[in-house]
Homo-oligomer: A and B are copies of this chain.
Amino acid sequence: METNVYDVTDWKVPGRPIDPRNDIGAVINSIIADIKRRQTDPADKPGAVIYIPPGTYSLKTRVVVDISFLTIRGSGHGFTSLSIRYNSDTTGWHELNPGGSHIRVENTDGHAEAFLVARDGSPRLSAIAFENFALDGVSFGANQNSYRNGKVGIRFGSDNDSVRVRGMGMVYLEQALVIQGPDALDVSGNFIAECGTCVMIVGGSQASRVADNHLGAGPVGFSIFAENSNGLLITGNNVFPRGIDSVHLKNCFRSNVSANRLQSFYPGSITLEGNCKENLISSNMFERVAESYGPFLGVSNGLGDDFGVVQINGDGNTITANHVTYVIAPDQVTPVGATPAVFRIRSGDQNVVGGNHTITNLTVHTVVLDAGTTNSHVYDSGTEAQLLAQSASYGFRPTP
């Protein structure tokens, strides 16, 4: 029977030979065209798997995925640190680049994306999977520490269902993964680091998971960003610097951010922006320490230490069972004279901060309740002296 298994190194592009090493994008587009040519019955479109063997490939043409049930799979996430390389003397190095099933994102077609997943009409694209290959943005240009090159690894540009991004490696992209309107999304087990923004959910999501990843954005973006999402589960991630935030939720509802490790060099490790309602932040390890890597000394996200390690805007959120370590040199606190904040309720009704433990070398406010906040509940999260209440509408109990 006809096969739905493709290998980019075996595919003969009809009419014009293209070596995938020169433009894997054109090759994959040609394969997708073949799948569409062969699968025309709406009742029988199983899709296909496109295999990318280990190798070094350039992508010059954006791939457009407009069919459901397509798996694009490699044999190796191939992550390696480009930041260390660009900031080192590489004389005598064994290797200089990422590897595995390694795609260099070098579009010459005027597009920002290596992969665009989008389709008009119904139903939503379903069950597309990206697995176990490397997307490498190659360079951030004149300033390799800028995290700016306009490149996007994968953009899901229309609503989608039960798609999966698993076991990928992504490096040196301004935006690694941007996902529009997912339902039952699974982003798991990826290494996405040294990217401007790592995982960005836009246009709302439902019932999605961002879990079990290694993530670390640059100082210009976010490790995880989501807006207008409901029921997003963020768990099991190890998030390292230097994102503006480790987790930034905007107008999100009923998320669960639990059992992560979140290290940050700046204020604002988790921010709930806008009107964030009824989210749970529990069992996380927060480590707020200072930048120690030469090229980034002096870089900041522009926020003062009174912003909070966690800042809440909205109603009914729950922050419990977290540990926070906040250790920086006192003279690094900004603005000068500010008292750093750990959990800051900036606005909202009925927020709970209970059962959290902060270790710090500084005099801090473990909890700040801004003016206008109402019915806050604060307990077992520090001493009374560590509470800054600018509202009178709250309950409080100090840690014994």
Contact = CB atoms under 8 A, between A and B. Distances in A.
Interface of A: 1, 3-5, 9, 19-21, 42-49, 53-56, 67-71, 73, 75-81, 84-85, 88, 90, 92-102, 119, 121-123, 126-127, 129, 161-162, 164, 166-167, 169, 184, 186, 188-189, 191, 193, 206-209, 211-212, 214, 216, 231-233, 235-238, 240, 254-256, 258-261, 263, 277-280, 282-285, 287, 315-316, 318, 320-323, 325, 350, 352, 354-355, 357, 359, 377-380, 395-397, 399-400
6 contacts: A54-B71, A69-B80, A76-B129, A80-B161, A207-B216, A354-B355
B285 A231 contact: yes
Given A69-B54, A400-B395, A169 B127 contact: yes
A47 B93 contact: no
A45 B238 contact: no
Contacts of A9: 1, 3
Main secondary structure of the interface of A (DSSP, over half): loop
Contact of A258 (B44, B67, B169, B283): B283
A71 B122 CA distance: 35
B211 A236 contact: yes
Contacts of A400: 377-379, 395-397
B53 A3 contact: yes
Question: Would you list the 9 A-B pairs with minimal beta carbon distance, nearest first?
Answer: A69-B99, A395-B400, A256-B285, A49-B75, A316-B359, A280-B323, A4-B54, A80-B126, A397-B400
Contact of A73 (B70, B75, B96, B161): B75
Contacts of A42: 93-96
Given A47-B100, A99-B127, A212-B211, A352 B54 contact: no
B80 A162 contact: yes
A233 B256 contact: no
Given A54-B4, A214-B162, A287-B254, A93 B78 contact: no
A100 B188 CA distance: 19
A78 B164 CA distance: 11
A128 to B, nearest CB: 9
A121 B99 contact: no
A178 to B, nearest CB: 21
A205 to B, nearest CB: 11
A256 B283 contact: yes
Contacts of A238: 184, 207-209, 231, 233
A54 B48 contact: yes
A127 B80 contact: yes
B99 A45 contact: yes
A45 B191 contact: no
Contact of A119 (B94, B119, B260): B94
B350 A254 contact: no
Residue from the set A100, A129, A325 with the largest chain B CB neighbour count within 10 Å: A100
Given A94-B121, A95-B123, A399 B352 contact: yes
Given A280-B283, A355-B380, 17 more contacts: A46-B55, A48-B54, A54-B71, A68-B94, A68-B95, A77-B127, A95-B123, A162-B191, A164-B167, A184-B191, A186-B191, A206-B240, A254-B325, A255-B261, A256-B259, A256-B283, A395-B399
B81 A161 contact: yes
A19 B2 CA distance: 12
A191 B19 CA distance: 36
A49 B47 CA distance: 22
A278 B321 CA distance: 14
A377 B355 contact: no
Contacts of A354: 355, 357, 380, 399
